[in-house]
Amino acid sequence: QQAANLLEAWFHFAKRDSIHISVAKHVQTHFAFCTAELNSVRKEYDFNRRGPVLHTNTPFYGGSAKWARSLKRRVENLMEQFTKGWYCVSSREYTEAFGQSTAVLASLDDYIKKMYSDWKALLEEDLSSNLDRHLIVQVMLTNCLEGNFSKKLLLLFDEVRIWEKLLFPVPYQAL
């Protein structure tokens, strides 16, 4: 980000041809770095989209969507840097990189929407049966008390929390 700002300033202030050529070369290098970063994001998405690496307590669908949103933010930052340096790069390279960025963003959006629709399809009709149990039970072997809250409901609460952060509507069954 800072490199793009500096290169933009130097490009506008460059009066001599040698400085102008040097700045253009550095812009090309920065543009190549951004393109490599975009390819890195695309490879990471292609490699991990079936089962992204998530924290052990993170639910699958919401966690996957959150992971895809982080990749989406990286691509959006790259697109912002592409638009800052468009005047120094040939139009073919710019349109190619911008097209790749747009395609990656579209596939990430589709992935997030697919995770949401898959999660909605898995919701059970009647989750109230999980509430009709005692919250604390006594274990006969050790004579200790143990929490008996439904694991399905805990997972559902985590999913709902993540989908609310992602600004998706929570289905009625999950409320």
In this prediction, residue 76 has a pLDDT band, given cuts at 50, 70 and 90, of very high
Q: How far is CA 143 from CA 134, 137, 138, 139, 148, in A?
A: 16, 10, 6, 5, 15
Residues 100-132 have pLDDT tens digits of: 999 999 999 999 999 999 999 988 766 777 888
Number of Cβ atoms within 10 Å of the Cβ of 163: 23
Written as six digits, the tokens of 81 are 């840097």
- Please state the φ and ψ torsions of residue 145, each to the nearest 5 degrees: -90, 145
Residues 11-59 have pLDDT tens digits of: 777 778 887 788 778 777 878 888 899 999 999 999 999 989 899 889 9
What pTM was estimated for this model as a whole? 0.83
Q: Would you call 134 helix, strand, or coil by DSSP?
A: coil
C-alpha 21/C-alpha 175 separation (Å) is 61
Number of Cβ atoms within 10 Å of the Cβ of 93: 15
Residues 154-174 have pLDDT tens digits of: 889 999 999 999 999 998 877
